[in-house]
């Protein structure tokens, strides 16, 4: 059991100006879990600027019982702060408690902040109840064509993680009027069938296919995406 002195020292470490000290403090908290740490860990996730420290904070939270952490994290997914929402979703995906599923709303899956949306996609495919995969696929597919390479790759991976339930939705998206949506859907289909294919080559080939299908008389035309 941690003493009051140990707890105070660890909590102060989480606020230290030196990122290496904060990292060690988060490691210490995760190594010796205690209910007194949970609120501070969740609060720090919302403001911590260093990625490696945020990952350690998430790890430390996973070391505590879900009944202690999940309620606080569910509160954070409704925060006005994008980092608070994103990190809470990321942590929920690592905890994997499906009682958190109702918090993964369509609004979060379409969050205007790309990092929040990407975290929501990852959490959704971990937490989705059995039998609800097709409905989730439809909601996720509405984001096809969004953002740059990293965002599109994250969405493709989330869709692929849903398994065969995603195939009808992807097939429908390959005929979308938006060439960017068509290309992203085609690239995701290719990755589903060949997980070893690179995303860059899949998306470039898909763009050419989408342009060909959308061009008058079957000519390729130009692609500016």
Q: Is residue 208 part of a domain?
A: yes
Q: Is residue 138 part of a domain?
A: yes
Q: Is residue 80 part of a domain?
A: no
**pLDDT band per the 50, 70, 90 thresholds, residue 2:** low
How does DSSP classify residue 32?
A: S
Residue 223 confidence (pLDDT): 31
Residue 201 confidence (pLDDT): 60
Q: Is residue 83 part of a domain?
A: no
| Residue located via tokens 């908290």 | 29
Q: Is residue 168 part of a domain?
A: yes
Instruction: Give me the domain span that covers residue 141.
Output: 131-225
Q: Is residue 69 part of a domain?
A: no
Angle between helices 51-62 and 66-76 (to 10 degrees): 140
Q: Is residue 45 part of a domain?
A: no
The answer on pLDDT for 88 being more than 50 is yes
Residue 199 confidence (pLDDT): 65
Distance CA 1, CA 14 (A): 19
Residue 200 confidence (pLDDT): 65
Higher pLDDT, 210 or 159: 159
The contacts of residue 16 (CB under 8 Å, 6+ apart) are 22, 25
Q: 120-148: per-residue pLDDT in tens?
A: 999 999 999 999 999 999 999 999 999 99
The answer on pLDDT for 159 being more than 90 is yes
Number of domains in the chain: 1
Residue 220 confidence (pLDDT): 38
Q: 34-65: per-residue pLDDT in tens?
A: 999 999 999 999 999 999 999 999 999 999 99
Q: Is residue 72 part of a domain?
A: no
């Amino acid at each position: 059991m941690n003493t009051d002195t140990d707890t105070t020292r660890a909590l102060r470490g989480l606020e230290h100006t030196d990122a290496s000290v904060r990292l060690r403090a988060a490691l210490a908290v995760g190594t010796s879990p205690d209910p007194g740490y949970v609120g501070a860990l969740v609060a720090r996730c919302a403001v911590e600027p260093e990625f490696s420290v945020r990952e350690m904070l998430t790890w430390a939270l996973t070391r505590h019982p879900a009944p202690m952490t999940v309620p606080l994290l569910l509160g954070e997914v409704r925060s006005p702060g994008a980092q608070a929402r994103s990190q809470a979703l990321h942590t929920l995906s690592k905890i994997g408690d499906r009682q958190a599923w109702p918090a993964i709303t369509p609004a979060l899956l379409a969050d205007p902040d790309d990092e929040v949306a990407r975290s929501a996609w990852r959490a959704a495919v971990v937490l989705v109840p059995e039998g609800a995969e097709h409905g989730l696929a439809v909601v996720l597919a509405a984001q096809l064509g969004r953002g740059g390479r990293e965002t599109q790759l994250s969405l493709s991976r989330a869709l692929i993680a849903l398994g065969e339930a995603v195939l009808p939705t992807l097939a429908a998206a390959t005929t979308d009027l938006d060439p960017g949506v068509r290309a992203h859907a085609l690239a995701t289909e290719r990755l589903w069938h060949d997980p070893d294919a690179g995303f860059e080559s899949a998306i470039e080939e898909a763009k050419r296919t989408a342009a060909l299908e959308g061009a008058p008389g079957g000519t390729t035309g130009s692609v500016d995406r």
